[in-house]
Chain A
Amino acid sequence: MTSSPLAGEFSVELSGRVIRHYRYAEERMMRTMGGWIALTAELPAKLVLGRHVWDCAQHADLWGRRLPELRAAAQKSEPPNEAFVRFMDLLERPEDRDQTVERLVGVYRVLKPHLVAAYERHLERANPVYEPPTRRILERVIPEERRHVAAGLQVIARLGESPRVAEWTRRLADALAEAGGVTGDGTSPALVTIDVDGVNTAGDLVALDSAFDVTKVEPDLRGRVEAHGRALIEGDAAGIAADVAPDARDAVLGAYARLPRGANATEIVGCARLGAQRVVKTRLSGPPGSVVIQQRWQRDGAAWRVVAADVVGAERPA
Chain B
Amino acid sequence: MDRPIAYDKLARENRFVRMRARDVGELRVEQGLAPFPDLASPESIRERVHGIMVGELQAMEGAGRSVYDFPDAPWEFTMDMARQVWDESRHVEIYLALIDHLGGYAGEFPETTILWRCACAEDAAARVAGVNRGLEGLACDVFAQLIHIAKKIGDPVIERAVDFVLADEITHVRMGSRWLNELTRDDPERRRRAVEFQDSIDERFNLGGARRDGAPEEVGISIAKDARRLAGFTDEEIERLIKSTQRSPVY
- The yes or no answer to B86 lying at the interface (CB within 8 A) is yes
- The yes or no answer to A275 lying at the interface (CB within 8 A) is yes
Complexed CA–CA distance, A36 and B89 (Å):
14
B12 and A37 within 8 A (CB) = no
Inter-chain contact count A-B, CB under 8 Å? 152
Interface string of B7-20 (1 = CB under 8 A from A): 00111111111110
Least CB separation from A267: chain B residue: B14
Comparing A141-149, A206-214, A246-254, the segment that makes contact with chain B is A206-214
- Known A-B contacts A57-B79, A206-B93; the reply to A37 vs B31 at CB < 8 A is no
Complexed CA–CA distance, A168 and B170 (Å):
42
Comparing A26-34, A117-125, A171-179, A229-237, the segment that makes contact with chain B is A26-34
Complexed CA–CA distance, A105 and B72 (Å):
27
Complexed CA–CA distance, A279 and B149 (Å):
29
Comparing B62-70, B129-137, B193-201, B209-217, the segment that makes contact with chain A is B62-70
Interface residues of B, dominant DSSP: helix
Interface string of B37-78 (1 = CB under 8 A from A): 000000000010000000001001111111111010001001
B93 and A47 within 8 A (CB) = yes
B15 and A274 within 8 A (CB) = no
- The yes or no answer to A239 lying at the interface (CB within 8 A) is no
Neighbouring A residues of B75 by C-beta, 8 Å: 61, 64, 75
Complexed CA–CA distance, A43 and B88 (Å):
13
Neighbouring A residues of B78 by C-beta, 8 Å: 31, 57
B16 and A50 within 8 A (CB) = no
B14 and A269 within 8 A (CB) = yes
Neighbouring A residues of B69 by C-beta, 8 Å: 35
Neighbouring B residues of A30 by C-beta, 8 Å: 67, 82
How many residues does chain A have at the interface if contact means C-beta atoms less than 8 Å apart?
54
- The yes or no answer to B92 lying at the interface (CB within 8 A) is yes
Query: Closest CB of chain A to B102's CB: distance in Å?
Result: 13
Neighbouring B residues of A274 by C-beta, 8 Å: 19, 24, 27-28, 109-110
Least CB separation from A269: chain B residue: B14
Interface-centre pick from A38, A39, A294 (highest chain B CB count, 10 A)? A38
B89 and A206 within 8 A (CB) = yes
B86 and A275 within 8 A (CB) = no
A38 and B61 within 8 A (CB) = yes
Neighbouring A residues of B230 by C-beta, 8 Å: none
- The yes or no answer to A283 lying at the interface (CB within 8 A) is yes
Query: Closest CB of chain B to A209's CB: distance in Å?
Result: 12
- The yes or no answer to B85 lying at the interface (CB within 8 A) is yes
- The yes or no answer to A313 lying at the interface (CB within 8 A) is yes
A270 and B15 within 8 A (CB) = yes
Complexed CA–CA distance, A131 and B93 (Å):
40
Least CB separation from A39: chain B residue: B11
B82 and A53 within 8 A (CB) = yes
Q: In chain A, residues 206-230, which have Cβ atoms closer than 8 Å to a Cβ of chain B?
A: 206-207, 210-213, 216
Q: In chain A, residues 166-201, which have Cβ atoms closer than 8 Å to a Cβ of chain B?
A: none
Complexed CA–CA distance, A61 and B63 (Å):
18
Neighbouring B residues of A46 by C-beta, 8 Å: 11, 57, 60-61
Neighbouring B residues of A64 by C-beta, 8 Å: 75
- Known A-B contacts A38-B9, A38-B64, A97-B11; the reply to A31 vs B71 at CB < 8 A is yes
- Known A-B contacts A211-B15, A216-B105; the reply to A51 vs B86 at CB < 8 A is yes
Neighbouring A residues of B1 by C-beta, 8 Å: 32, 35-36, 39, 92, 95
A41 and B11 within 8 A (CB) = yes
- The yes or no answer to A292 lying at the interface (CB within 8 A) is yes
Complexed CA–CA distance, A213 and B100 (Å):
13
- The yes or no answer to B108 lying at the interface (CB within 8 A) is yes
Query: Closest CB of chain B to A31's CB: distance in Å?
Result: 5
Complexed CA–CA distance, A34 and B60 (Å):
9
B93 and A37 within 8 A (CB) = no
- Known A-B contacts A54-B86, A57-B78; the reply to A213 vs B105 at CB < 8 A is yes
Q: In chain B, residues 172-225, which have Cβ atoms closer than 8 Å to a Cβ of chain A?
A: none
- The yes or no answer to A265 lying at the interface (CB within 8 A) is no
Least CB separation from A281: chain B residue: B14
B10 and A294 within 8 A (CB) = no
Query: Closest CB of chain B to A128's CB: distance in Å?
Result: 30
Neighbouring B residues of A42 by C-beta, 8 Å: 13
A to B CB contacts below 8 Å, 6 in the list: A35-B67, A38-B11, A50-B88, A75-B75, A207-B96, A270-B17
Q: Which 9 A-B pairs have the closest CB atoms?
A: A35-B68, A34-B67, A50-B89, A54-B86, A57-B82, A37-B64, A34-B64, A212-B15, A38-B61
